[in-house]
Chain A
Amino acid sequence: MMELFFKPRSVAIVGASGSPGKLGYVIVNNIKGSDFAGAVYPVNPKADEILGYKVYKTIAEIPGAVDLVITALPTPKMTVSTLEECAQKGVKAVIIESAGFAEMGGEGKVYQQQIVDIAKKNNIRVMGPNCSGIVSRDIVTSIYPMTKKVSRGNVVLIGQSGLLAAGMASDIVENESLNISKVCSIGNKCDVNENDLLEYFGDQPDVDVISMYLETISDGRNLTRIAKKIAAKKPVIFLSGGRTEAGAKAAMSHTGSIASNAKIVEAAVKQTGMIMADDFTELKDFAKVFSTQPLPKGNRVAVITLAGSVGVNVSDLCASHGLELPKLTAETTEKLKDMFDTPVSNPVDLYFSVTKIGFTKTLETTFPDAFRDANIDAAVLILAGFEYTQEAVQKKIIQKIVQDVGKPVVVCMIVGYNKYKHVIMDEMGKELPVFPSLISGVKALSKLCQYGMRRQKLSA
């Protein structure tokens, strides 16, 4: 069933428009700009042609089957009658983008219930209302104008809010900051909810990471069951809005009075092995780390720096995020003894090595020697924005070494000249997780280690 949303053979847009700027126009234009190769049927009683596509007055008029209908209509009432037409046509998948339903309360709630009833009776799966649907290489139903084609990446993002998900999608695609495959906005979740998508993406072999933002949890019991199954094979990053400390009800037991929504959600995250993000940036950042880096076997980290004071700060951050900084082995210490004035320690301060053999050579030899150490599972690499750093990044020296060593790394950028810093963040950020602060990098790495260790335990 879900395939009809993501790989439809034909799609109708009800409420399609020929006026640039209107939502009904943006949607058609986005589909046109995607790799969608099936039939496109704009539906509008007052137009003949939109963006080169023949326009149909009603759904019934469309020749042949329609796999997916997208609606962007001004009133909920029109949406309800469109759903009736979909039922008559035998359509099985509908994305309702328009707002004005349960989120408004009152009449909107009634209209949404009518949609649910029609959908149930006719076996139609409905995404939305109040959503922006799907952003992918194969089809884009979003209300944000897309400027580039979506990558065929390994990350999917599931969001509840229409505008935010669409905005994040557009941002990620524009900046190529994440190897995205699909962004789904599920809005009011009157039918298709996070559990449907989690199960679907859990089974898709080309999806490696699922990142999910929810304002409400439709069915927590099933979410727990499904997420536990999926998170055992691929990371599920989870941001939950509206967590409160207040008890959900007037409880007659101790247990009931302590069981706040926040505590229950937190318990579900622990129980399932999902990775909790605390804001939208983390939702994206964690996905970046998980989708580009191998899973570590433990939490033993090497901190690679050019300045001692930075190393101290990162060590503190590591400690408070459950990461360990072990000593390097005797072999490594011996191997690197000429590169340091005192025996190498952790944080690994590359300054001495740089003064002896230069920056590039240090990155090529000293850094990988320390990183390969048997006591080390992962590394935090701290870079500054200077010309020589930029050169190393552009020659992909760091990227190559990281790939060669085969252990996870996060890069943190601090100080330096902005023009270099930005180039490094943007250039290297396409391949490696690069963070603008120490704490964000350390936190992301701690999540990766935590998850890696859980997977180790599960497979033991």
Chain B
Amino acid sequence: MTTAQILSRARQEKRKVLTEIEAKSILGEAGITCTPTVLATSREKAVSVSEEFGYPVVLKVSSVDISHKSDAGGVKVGLKNRAEVEAAYDAIMTSCRAYAPGADIEGVSVQPMARPGTEVIMGMTRDKSFGPVLMFGLGGVFVEVLKDVAFRIVPIDGNDAAEMVDGIQGKKLLEGYRGKETADKARLQEMLVQLSTFVDATPGIEEIDMNPVFAYSDGAMVVDARIILSEE
């Protein structure tokens, strides 16, 4: 489905939260690379999709009613074979139904296990006065505890994107600290500009989280994404 179709369907269904698959599809259309993610509505489908991707894979519950997927026991990572996928599918269903009894669960999303990279977060939120605002930071504890992030007002240009990426305290961690893989800063900057261009041209989106994004020495990949729509 195209971005326009996804947005209009969500509006029709009076949904504010898009599923991970929808969010990644929209970001992909904006030029932002995401891990390929496919919906499986049955255990069998989960297995066949996994085999197509090749192991290991990740299964996550796909439900518009469950936003904290991990809390619901709805995420299983590093699944190495058919048996593990089948078991994970059943475990997710059982646990999520118990966690949110009335939830509409469409199945699970299946995606290949991404190679770990430097974890970063990118996002957008809408301010009453400034309009859409972008955020960039290092993921995990850096964003949650230290709030080591940089903001810019949309639209941003390449120079703004470069200042965002170089503007965080922990920027050394992007530059191959202690022998770690360097992060492709040019690609991260490009993704921020793509995000800016996308939100500037697409009204009705309130918040976006791309978290985590794995940054590699050549490129970067969005591993999980969330899009929240504005009140109409």
Contact = CB atoms under 8 A, between A and B. Distances in A.
Given A253-B228, A254-B123, A248 B128 contact: yes
A221 B129 contact: yes
A255 B153 contact: no
Interface residues of B, number: 34
A267 interface: yes
Interface string B5-26: 0000000000011000000000
A357 B226 CA distance: 73
Interface stretch (A5-13, A54-62, A257-265, A289-297): A257-265
B153 A268 contact: yes
B153 A271 contact: yes
Chain A: interface residue count, which band?
A: 20 to 34
Contacts of A217: 129-130
Nearest to A254: B209
Nearest to B149: A258
B123 A264 contact: no
Given A255-B207, A258-B149, A221 B130 contact: yes
A258 B207 contact: no
A253 B167 contact: no
Contacts of B128: 248
Contacts of A220: 127, 129-131, 153
Given A270-B163, A270-B167, A255 B209 contact: yes
A259 B209 contact: no
Contacts of A255: 121, 123-125, 135, 207-209
Nearest to B121: A254
A220 B154 CA distance: 11
Contacts of B149: 258, 263
Contacts of B209: 253-255
A1 interface: no
A217 to B, nearest CB: 5
B171 interface: no
A253 B153 contact: no
Contacts of A216: 129
Interface of A: 216-221, 223-224, 248, 251-256, 258-259, 261, 263-264, 266-268, 270-271
> Closest 8 interchain pairs by CB?
A255-B123, A220-B130, A267-B151, A220-B129, A256-B125, A253-B207, A221-B131, A253-B209
